[in-house]
Amino acid sequence: MPAPRPLTPAQLKIKEAMDARDALATALHLAGIQLPAMDVRTPWADEARYALVHLGLCSAPVAHALAEVITKGAST
């Protein structure tokens, strides 16, 4: 079996964003919050100079819950 190819710089950027998205989703889940439209996007179709974690839209109650969790965490 051949050795796996090393990831390209673009693939590494996308992997970094996907790992960040997953870590954020896990932390939010532990706080009882879910953002169902989280995704990873790149501004360029042909390459990824960087990748973005797109959080999507959320309702006002979810935004309030996020603010509460962030404020609570910032005060500890």
Q: Which of the 8 DSSP states describes residue 50?
A: S
Could you tell me the pTM of the whole model?
A: 0.80
Residue numbers of the chain with a pLDDT score lower than 50? none
Distance CA 71, CA 49 (A): 33
Maximum pairwise Cα distance, the chain: 52
**39 Rama class: left (phi>0) / alpha (psi -120 to 50) / beta:** beta
Yes or no: say if 22 and 10 are a contact pair by the CB < 8 Å rule: no
Q: What is the pLDDT of residue 24?
A: 94
pLDDT tens-digit profile of 49-65? Answer: 788 899 999 999 999 99
